[in-house]
Structure 1
Amino acid sequence: MTSSESAARVMRDYPFPDRTGPELDATYAYLREHEPVSRVQLPYGGWAWLVTRYADVRKVLSDARLSREATVGRDVPRPHQTLIQAGLLSTMDGPEHARLHRLTLRTFTPRRIAELRPRLDELAWQLVDGLVAHGAPADFIELLARPMPITVVREMFGIPYADREIIQRLGGVLMANSAYGMEELRAAWEEFRRYMAGVVAQRRKQPAGDLLSAMVQARDADDRLSEPELVDLAVTIVLAGYETTANQLANYTYLLLSDRARYELLVADPDRVPDAVEELLRFTPIRNTAENPLIALEDLEVNGTVIRAGESVIASIASANRDRALTADGDRLDLARTPTQHLAFSHGMHYCLGAHLARLELQAVLTALVTRLPGLRLAVPEQELIWEPEVVMRRLERLPVRW
C-alpha cells in the first residue's frame, strides 16, 4: 500500500469509547479483520498508526527500527497526558537497554524467583484465611488482591511493613494518570524516587538476603550503572510488581465469579489453574489503551502499510491476544483451552522481567481460593460493580464477595 493510499484512510479517535471491564471495544475486531494497521487520532500529540493483529504486533514490538527512546520527553502522539519518562528500562533501546537489562537479570534470576514459590503459596493461604476471618461480605481487593503483591514486593525489597501505604498511595496516583494534573503526577514520581533512594541507602548500609540488596551490590561492583538509574529501576520494578498483579488478581477473580461455571471448573480440578492463568492472561486486557508509542527511525512496512520515519506506532497487545490467528474464537474466555503463545507480557527486548513471578503469584492465589473457598461468589449484582474510568490499567473500585 502506498503512502498516499494509507493517508486516505479514515482516522478514528482513540482510545475507543469502551475502556472499562475485561471486554474490548468491537472496533478492535473490525480492524483486525479489515484494517489491521489503521490511523488513529490520540488525545495528546497528534495521530499514530494502531496495529491490532498478533503477527504484526509481535513484529512491531521486536523491530529495532521502531524506538521507545525516541519518545522520551517529547510531545509525541500518546493516549495519556504525561510525557514518556527518561531513564526507565521500559523506555530504552539498544545498548542502554542491554546495559540495565544485564544487571537486572543478574539479580532477578529464575532460580531466585523459583525459590519464592513456597512463600507465595503460604502467603496466599494466609490471605484467604484472613478473608474468611473477616467474614462475608468482604472486599476481595482490599483483603487479598492488594495485600498479596504488596507483601511480595515488600519482602523482595526489604521495605518495612509500615511503609506499604506509601507504595499504595503513590502507585495509585501514578496509575490513575488522567485523574491528576501533570504537577501532581510529577510530584508523586519524585516522592517515590526519594523514598526508594532512602531504601537503597539503607540496604547499602545493612545488606540483607533480598532482591534490592543484590541489586545494590551488583551496581556497586559495576560503575556502568549510576545511582539514579538504580533508583529508577527499583521504582519501576516495585510499581509493576504491585499495581499490575493487584489489578489482574481482581480482574481474574471477577471473570471467574461473573460466570461461576468457570470457577466451578477449577474447584473440581485445581490442577487446571496454571493453564487457566494462561488463558486469563491472554483474554484479559491489562491497560485501558494500546501500549506506549514507538517512533519509526526509518521508513518501514507493516502488513502492507508504509510507515514513514518519524511517524508514531502504537501496538494493541489486548487486540493481538484476541486474534483468530492465535486462537479461533479469541473473544471468548475458555479455561479448558490449550494455552497459546499470548503477548500479555509483551515481546522482544521489553518482555516483562517479572513474568515468572506474576504467574506464580496468580497461580498461588487462585489455587488457594478454589481449594479453600469452593462456594466463593459475588456479593452484589454484577451491574453494581464500578470500573474506574480515569486510570492507566483496567481496575475495579471494589469486588465484594461472599462464600
Structure 2
Amino acid sequence: MAPVISSLNPNHGPPTGGTAVTINGSGFTGVTSVKFGIVAVASFTLVSDSQITTTAPAGTGSVALTVTSPLGTSNGVTYTYSVGPVITGLSPASGSTSGGNTVTISGSGFTGASSVHFGTASASFTVVSDTQITATAPGGTGSVPVTVTTSVATSSNVTYTYVNSTAPVITGLNPNQGPTSGGNTVTISGTGLSGTSSVLFGSHSATITAITSTQITVTAPGGAAQPVSVTVTTSAGTSNALPYFYITAPTIAGLIPTTGPGGGGNAVTIFGSSLALTSAVHFGSAAATNITVNSDSQITATAPPNVGTVLVTATTPGGTSTVGLGDAYYIYVAAPVINSLIPATGSVSGGDDVLISGSNFTYIDAVFFGTAPASFAAVSDTQVVATSPAGAVGPVIVTVHSSGGTSNGATFQYQL
C-alpha cells in the first residue's frame, strides 16, 4: 500500500526555506523521496514507519508535500510558504530609560506573533491586527533593535532609542477655567514638554495644537461644572496635576430699568445667576462700562449708546449668557418732543386740562409746568393730557420726561 500523510508540523514556513518539518502518517518504511511541490528535498530522516523529518527547501505559495516509496506516492498535504513579519515604523521611536510607555509597531505579517523584543529584552504586547502591535517598552539604554517573531520568522529590526529624561512638569494654565462646553484654547506652561503624547482634563483628552519644550497649546474638552486635574504625558512619564475649573454659563433673568436713553450713560442693574466672574456686559453689540459685580446673582453696568430693542448679555469664563427665563431685553427710548399745547393758557388756580401733542410719549413718567409736577395721562405715543397745577401769573415752560430724557419746552401762560 502507498504511504499516507496525515499531518505536517509546521505546515508553513518562510519562502527562503530552512524550516524543520515533521511529516506524520503511515507506510513510510522504504520511502525514497520527499517533495515540496515538484522540488525534492536534499535529505530526510526516516524516524519510523509513521514519521519522517526533513528541511523545507525554498519556495513560494502553497504546495503539495508528498512522499514516495516503492509502493507508490502518498496523498498530498498542503505546505504554505509565508512571508515573515515586517516592521515599517515605531510610534514613538524613543522613550525613557525606565520604560513603561506604550509603543505602536506598524508593519505587516503580525498575525500569530509570539514575541516582541527591544534588543534582548522581551516586551509585553498585544496584536491589534496583522499590521499593528502595541507593546510596552521594557527598561533599557541606548539604541536597540525592535523585532517581532512569529512562527514563520523574526522580522528585520527598527531602531528604538532610550533617552535619559525626567517626567514633564507643568507650572501654569492660562486660563485655568472655562466653559463646560469646552472648545476654548488653554496654554500650558512648564518644562520637559517636548514629545507630549496626551493632555488630560480629568479623564477627557484635550486636542493638542502646538508643542514646544516649555509650552503646549490645547483645545479644552467639555466637562461637568467642577474642578478637574490637568496632566501632561510624554515618553518620560506623566506630569504633576494642576486644577482647571469648569464654569457654568451665566444667565440673565431681568433688568432694572428696562428702558433708557439712546445716548446711554444710565446705570442698569442686571439680575441672573453665575454672574460672579463677569468680565463683560453687552447691550446688543455695544459694550457696557463700569461693570460692578454685587453678587453671583446681581451686577450693575452703565448702558452704552444704542438704538432700538437689544439683548443684554454677560460674559464669564463659563461663556456668554443666552436667552432664557425672564426678560433680558433693554429698550433704547428716543427723547420726547413737544409740538403744541392746547390750550396754551390757563388759570393761576390750575385744574385746566391741557392736551400736549408731540412724539415719543409712550414711556413718559413726568410732566412739569415750570418746576411744578402735573398729573397726566398718556393717550398715545403722540398725545398726553395733563392737568395744570396752580401757578403765578405769567409764562412757564412745560416739559415732559421719559426714560429717553427730557423734552424741549413749550410755553404755557398763567392768567387771572
TM (normalized to structure 1)? 0.18
State the structure with bigger RCO (CA 8 A, min sep 6), 1 or 2. 1
Q: Which has the higher helix share?
A: 1
Q: Which has the higher strand share?
A: 2
Larger Rg: 2
